[in-house]
């Protein structure tokens, strides 16, 4: 497929790209059943920060190997994750999430593959959602595989740590973590079935996406006629692999992201603007 000229970048203060760029994107997607791949940029308007956006703080997240290596690491992770989750669970879907849900309801969107762990797509009304990196609202046992609701584990943490109070200024991360230092006396939650180690059901750095989850995402892209990427810088390998799948099939690829992504040179059109407001404008054109 011949690539369409990429729209001119717009000012960082401009909420949406030029009308011509939106029209090109809408024309590429119109009449096609497409899949959306979303990243942290779609949730920033819900108060969840972006890992790599402009002004994002430098982070060194805990790896899976560290988490497994000892109780001190698990205490540090769970204390921060518990403080962060209290803020994380208060986030609400924004207009971008709702625009994608409306596009699915209209029949234009086949489903959403998301790199986010906030479940905001599901709460916005999207029905077919592949949580590529898991969900902060589930907890699993690394020893027996039992799955728990995060709220029930949070209640147990509160009961076991009545002294623990979240810091006055918590630095929240996109994965629901936070920086907490007072962890020496923190009591870890353990599996109520086997006594094993618990972990939020999210993919840590150094951990592989479960094969069945990635295959579900891959199948969704394979069954679609175009790919819409919204709010992802495509630095994570899983996103690039899905983009490459679409590119090899010569599908139209539309990228919406404020700033450069690793997929810009492979996009049919790139819209350099805020994710949520651009999705709203695009959905209006596709459902008119």
Task: Tell me the catalytic residues.
Answer: 133
- Nearest Cα to 19, choosing from 3, 7, 30? 7
Give the SS3 label for residue 278: helix
Contact present, 62 and 76 (Cβ < 8 Å): yes
Contact present, 283 and 102 (Cβ < 8 Å): yes
Separation CA 254–CA 268 (nearest Å): 6
- HEC string of 214-250 equals HHHHHHHHHCCCEEEEECCCCCCHHHHHHHHHHHHCC
Phi, psi of 30 (to 5 degrees): -60, 130
Separation CA 36–CA 224 (nearest Å): 10
Separation CA 157–CA 274 (nearest Å): 37
Place of tokens 């495509």: 234
């Amino acid at each position: 497929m011949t690539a369409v000229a990429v729209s001119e970048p717009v000012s960082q203060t401009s909420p949406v790209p030029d009308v011509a760029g939106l029209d090109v994107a809408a024309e590429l997607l119109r009449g096609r059943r497409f899949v959306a791949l979303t990243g942290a940029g779609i949730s920033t308007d819900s108060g969840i920060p972006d890992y790599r956006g402009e002004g994002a703080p430098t982070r060194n997240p805990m790896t899976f190997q560290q988490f497994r290596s000892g109780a001190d690491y698990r205490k540090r992770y769970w204390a921060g994750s518990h403080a962060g989750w209290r803020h994380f669970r208060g986030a609400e879907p924004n207009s971008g999430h709702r625009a994608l849900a409306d596009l699915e309801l209209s029949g234009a969107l086949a489903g959403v593959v998301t790199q986010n762990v906030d479940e905001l797509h599901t709460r916005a009304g999207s029905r077919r959602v592949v949580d590529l990196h898991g969900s902060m609202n589930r907890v699993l046992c690394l020893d027996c595989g039992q799955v728990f609701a995060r709220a029930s584990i949070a209640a147990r943490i509160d009961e076991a740590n009545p002294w623990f109070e979240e810091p006055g200024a918590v630095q929240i991360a996109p994965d629901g973590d936070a920086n907490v230092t007072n962890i020496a006396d923190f009591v870890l939650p353990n599996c109520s079935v086997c006594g094993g180690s618990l972990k939020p059901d999210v993919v840590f750095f150094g951990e592989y996406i479960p094969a069945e989850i990635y295959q579900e995402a891959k199948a969704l892209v394979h069954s679609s006629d175009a790919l819409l990427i919204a709010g992802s810088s495509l630095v994570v390998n899983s996103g690039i692999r899905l983009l490459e799948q679409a590119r090899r099939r010569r599908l139209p690829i539309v990228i919406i992201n404020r700033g450069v992504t690793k997929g810009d040179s492979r996009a049919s059109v790139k819209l350099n603007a805020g994710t949520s407001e651009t999705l709203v404008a695009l959905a209006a054109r596709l459902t008119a």
